[in-house]
Amino acid sequence: MKKNVLILSVVVGILFSGTVAAGWGGINIPTPPPPVIPTPPPPVIVTPPSLPTPEQAREAMGKALSEVVNDGSDIVNTSLDTQTSISSQILGDEISGIVEVVNIPNRQVVSYSTTAVKGIAYVIETGDLELIAELFANPVLAQSSVLLAAELQRSRDTHYPRSKPVPTAIKSVLRHIFPNSVLERARYTIGTVQPTLQNLVNKTRKGKHANHAIVADDVIVFSSEPSLSEPSLNDLKFWAHEIRHVAQYQEWSVLGFAKRYIKDWEDVEADADSYGEKAKN
């Protein structure tokens, strides 16, 4: 009996499992309902901090750089002055004079690196990022441009105190080719400009005009007295050429001018010559 029950339950079990298996095969599994996507909470709108525009960022960077350089060069110059004054107290004026001479290269380094960073600060401020990129990509050009810019800046600072505004007679006949801002900014003096540029200009420009001039930023340094009134056409051409250089400095910065002069001095001069020609018309 027990054996029969066992067999029966096995048979029922097989049948039952067969039914179940057959049943699964035949059932249509309903397409599951689309998942319920919870509605996301409304985004929290954060007011973005007011970011500076690229122009504002550049200007801020440029100003910060300038300030750092001014502070830095003040510190170095003050410490050099202190060295000189201490040595003069301890060793007497004669020896301290030697200390001062020894310090000249240090002061030049200060002046050159100041010019370099000021130049970079300037181009950042004015947005002439092309100039920065070009100088960073070409260390030789960067170095020579900075040295020339420093020389030009020193020449300009040396000559500026004795310089005079462009004579009214000249300005009034050149108004048709230069904006007032350029004519009012340009100044002139008589003198010589220190080595680098002097040599460069003498090599390239000799013989074009009996008088010759070098422009250091806003100061035109003539080698001899230029015509101040009743200028001939040639005089006007000469003045216009030099005043165009003043405008170039204004447009490109001292560093930018130095870079262009080293790289393409002929282009820079051709541009100035074109104004010389305009002056005659």
Binding site for Zn ion (CB under 5 A): 269, 272
Cβ 75 to Zn ion shortest distance, Å? 38
Cβ 156 to Zn ion shortest distance, Å? 16
Whichever of 235 and 269 has its CB closer to Zn ion, that residue is 269
In the three-class reduction of DSSP (H, G, I as helix; E, B as strand; rest coil), residue 189 is classed as: strand
Whichever of 166 and 272 has its CB closer to Zn ion, that residue is 272
Place of tokens 């462009």: 166
Cβ 241 to Zn ion shortest distance, Å? 6
Contact call for residues 220 and 240 (beta carbons, < 8 A): no
Cβ 211 to Zn ion shortest distance, Å? 12
**Nearest residue (beta carbon) to Zn ion:** 272
Whichever of 108 and 202 has its CB closer to Zn ion, that residue is 202
Whichever of 186 and 272 has its CB closer to Zn ion, that residue is 272
Q: Which of 231, 235, 204 is nearest to 222 (CA)?
A: 235
Strand 213-216, strand 219-222: pairing: antiparallel
| Radius of gyration, alpha carbons of the chain | 40
For residue 268, how many other CB atoms are within 10 A of its CB? 18
Whichever of 142 and 183 has its CB closer to Zn ion, that residue is 183
Contacts of 120 (CB under 8 A, 6+ apart): 65, 132, 135, 255
Whichever of 201 and 255 has its CB closer to Zn ion, that residue is 201
Cβ 201 to Zn ion shortest distance, Å? 7
Sheet architecture: strand order including 187-190? 164-165, 187-190, 219-222, 213-216
For residue 265, how many other CB atoms are within 10 A of its CB? 14
Cβ 151 to Zn ion shortest distance, Å? 16
